[in-house]
Amino acid sequence: MSSSSVRSQLLAIREKHGFLDPDVVVEEARDKNHPLHDRVFDRAPADAAHAWYRHRAHELIQSVRINYTTDDRPKDVRAFIAVPRPDTRKPMYEPVEEVMLDDFTRQLVLTQMSREWRTLKARYGDLVEFADMISNDPSLRAAS
């Protein structure tokens, strides 16, 4: 199914319900004859449950924060950083202190950070509001 076909189906769901969100798409696509069924229900229930548990574990890892002070200013950062692995697309999570002390791992993370920044810029860079948001962010001015 092409992107434009998916868009048409999503617009039809929005028209029917007056809004569009993931819950209403799941509700509509539950019917095995619905054109979006295979796009939404792409896994067996056990596989879908495992994917959900992995997602929750990911959120748990990212929720842990540590506090430290630098230049007499308190900082609050994630305790674990996702580090790309060469053998798989799945990252491993390492304590932030260890990542920042290891030149190779730190460079891996900085390369990933640069890639994510370029993706964000490509997605929103054409919007004047994006440039305004970046230039008006006081936390970015303080960092320079």
Residue 35 included in any domain = no
Distance (Å, whole) CA 130 – CA 93: 30
Residue 21 included in any domain = no
Residue 9 included in any domain = no
**Count of structural domains, the chain:** 1
Residue 56 included in any domain = yes
**Quick check: 77 and 66 in contact, CB under 8 A?**
yes
Residue 94 included in any domain = yes
Residue 28 included in any domain = no
Q: What is the pLDDT of residues 69-103, one digit of tens each?
A: 888 888 899 999 999 887 877 889 999 999 999 99
Domain ranges, residue 83: 43-143
Residue 50 included in any domain = yes
Decide: residue 80, CB within 10 A, 0-12 exposed, 13-18 middle, 19+ buried.
Answer: buried
Q: What is the pLDDT of residues 113-122, one digit of tens each?
A: 999 999 999 9
Q: What is the pTM of this model?
A: 0.66
Residue 36 included in any domain = no
CA angle in degrees (0–180, nearest 5) for 61-122-91: 25
